[in-house]
Amino acid sequence: MDTNISLRQLAKMIDHSLLHPTMTDAEIRQGCEIARRHAVATVCVKSYAVAMCKEILADSDVEVCSVIGFPHGNTTTTIKVAETEQAIHDGATEIDMVINIGKALGGDWDYVKTDIAAVHQACGKKGALLKVIFETDYLQDDPIIILCQICSDLKVAFVKTSSGYGFVKQASGGYNYQGATEHVLSLMRQHSAPEVQVKAAGGVRTLDQLLKVRQLGATRCGATATDIMLEEARQRGYA
């Protein structure tokens, strides 16, 4: 047991993810109640659901985080900015944007930086935090390092591993997904400025995995298994 962290601190590491494309409003409402019960950091939702979630959680200290350009990052910068402004207007205090992954893979770093900078500026005008989703399953180490440097130069709040939906097609025709691996988290922590935090997303489903990503330097984690992780923490004696 890690005695250096409390149950509340573990909960405040979690962005409770409500992003599956099939989720109904009723399921999102249920997810907000889970987030409220555990007093997590945020609910992370699709932009159309921000206003609803803000209303549901108005009497709690759970914030609302909206994804932008989700999940593939391929909308234009103008649209990403407009979506960001609308989400903040509706009550989001944190924004998780997806980079243009094709531009990163093509080495068009000026485009990628301009894209991130525009959303960051829109967040800054309203005091919202920006987390930048790399989608690391698609990337080798070198572009991940460059992205960390770009985000450090721009002074964004967080770099984030994954959307949770970056499935990579295999030679067999099937799809594979790894998410927040130990290697990627270590790489991102090593190559990001100290003031830029790291968010792990994808594959963190147990308390031990949550504690592990914390050990690797992640201060926030996107999770759907919030109930499971925090109930296990209570059973282990975290208070």
> How many residues does the structure list for the chain?
239
Is 96 marked active-site?
A: yes
Q: Is the dihedral of CA 126, 131, 134, 135 positive or negative?
A: negative
Q: Which residue among 46, 54, 131, 199 is the active-site one?
A: 199
User: What letters, b where the CB count within 10 A reaches 16 and e where it falls short, cover 167-197?
Assistant: eeeeeeeeeeeebbbeebbebbbebbeeebb
CA–CA separation, 216 and 208 (whole Å): 12
CA–CA separation, 27 and 10 (whole Å): 24
Omega cis (within 30) before 71: yes
Q: CB of 112 within 8 A of CB of 176?
A: no
Tokens of 61: 């200290």
Q: Which residue among 90, 96, 115, 137 is the active-site one?
A: 96
In the block, which residue shows the tokens 């759970």? 62
How open is the CA angle 113-109-156, to the nearest 5 degrees?
Answer: 30
Q: CB of 188 within 8 A of CB of 126?
A: no
Is 142 marked active-site?
A: no
DSSP H helices in 127-206:
141-154, 182-191
Is 54 marked active-site?
A: no
In a 3-state reduction of DSSP, which class is residue 61?
coil
Q: Which residue among 12, 54, 113, 160 is the active-site one?
A: 160
Active site members: 96, 160, 199
